[in-house]
């Protein structure tokens, strides 16, 4: 990794620490801890994969990569629009007082985290090697842990309503997982 990449990594890490503190941790929402590692892994994948981002654009791995990246973009855009339209939250967008169960949320509980997972797999697919396999494995585990910790927080906040919602929805992909 070049010195420029290291500088970018350390500046972005400082921003991610601040984000995690301001949005989650200071309000005792501990899903922010594993989510920090998701962001760090995505940052590393981006830095490692940037040089090959557009290499051999018609290769099968590139096609899969772009499909994952398009799915990521769809999930994040749709979920943010729905969340802001239907959730009741104050300054901190994570403090919703209303459970969103329409649109994409009707089928999956964690579209924003699924978006991060698809982003990671899209970046990973650009150039598959031992380092990127380790990073995407850790990112996938961190996304899963983030979802599980957040589900405990949502059960504490919404109780039976969230438990019933969990029974009706999948975690990341409608009808599958």
3-state DSSP assignment of residue 170: strand
Per residue in 26-59, pLDDT (tens digit) is: 889 999 999 999 999 999 999 999 999 999 989 9
Number of domains in the chain: 1
Give strand pairing partners of 170.
108
Q: Tell me, what's the pLDDT at 27?
A: 87
- Residue 126: inside a domain, yes or no? yes
Q: Is residue 175 part of a domain?
A: no
Q: What is the pLDDT of residues 53-89, one digit of tens each?
A: 999 989 999 999 999 999 999 999 999 999 988 887 7
- How large is the C-alpha radius of gyration of the chain? 17
pLDDT at 33: 96
The chain-wide mean pLDDT, for the chain, equals 94
Strand partners, 108: 170
DSSP of 136-152 = HHHHHHHHHHHHHHHHH
10 Å CB burial of residue 159 (0-12, 13-18, 19+) is exposed
Answer for the pair 23, 33: CB distance below 8 angstroms, yes or no.
no
Let me know if residue 174 belongs to a domain.
Answer: no
Is position 131 within any domain?
A: yes
- Measured CA to CA, the distance from residue 137 to residue 116 in angstroms comes to 13
Q: Residue 90 pLDDT more than 80?
A: no
pLDDT exceeding 70 applies to what percent of the chain? 99
Give the list of residues 6+ apart from residue 25 with CB closer than 8 angstroms, or none: 32, 33
Q: Is residue 176 part of a domain?
A: no
In tens, the pLDDT along 1-25 reads 789 899 999 999 999 999 999 989 9
In a domain? residue 114: yes
Do residues 46 and 123 lie in contact, with contact meaning Cβ atoms separated by under 8 Å?
Answer: yes
- Residue 92: pLDDT over 90: no
Give the number of residues written for the chain: 177
User: Quick count: other Cβ atoms within 10 Å of Cβ 12?
Assistant: 17
Exposed (0-12), middle (13-18) or buried (19+): which is 39, by Cβ within 10 Å?
Answer: buried
**In terms of residue numbers, what domain contains 11?**
3-168
Q: Is residue 177 a part of any domain in this protein?
A: no
With respect to residue 121, please indicate whether it lies within any of the assigned structural domains: yes
pLDDT in tens, 132-153: 999 999 999 999 999 999 999 9
């Amino acid at each position: 990794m070049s010195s420029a990449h290291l500088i970018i990594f350390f500046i972005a890490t400082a921003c991610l620490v601040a984000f995690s503190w301001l949005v989650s941790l200071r309000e005792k929402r501990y899903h922010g801890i594993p989510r920090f590692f998701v962001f760090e892994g995505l940052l590393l994948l981006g830095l490692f994969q940037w040089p090959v981002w557009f290499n051999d654009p018609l290769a099968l791995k590139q096609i899969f990569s772009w499909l994952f990246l398009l799915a990521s973009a769809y999930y994040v855009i749709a979920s943010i629009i729905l969340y802001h339209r239907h959730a009741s939250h104050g300054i901190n967008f994570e403090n919703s007082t209303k459970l969103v169960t329409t649109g994409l949320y009707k089928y999956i509980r964690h579209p924003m985290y699924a978006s991060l997972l698809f982003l990671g797999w899209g970046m990973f697919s650009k150039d598959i090697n031992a380092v990127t396999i380790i990073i995407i494995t850790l990112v996938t585990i961190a996304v899963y842990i983030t979802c599980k910790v957040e589900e405990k927080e949502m059960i504490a906040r919404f109780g039976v309503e969230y438990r019933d919602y969990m029974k009706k929805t999948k975690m990341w992909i409608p009808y599958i997982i």
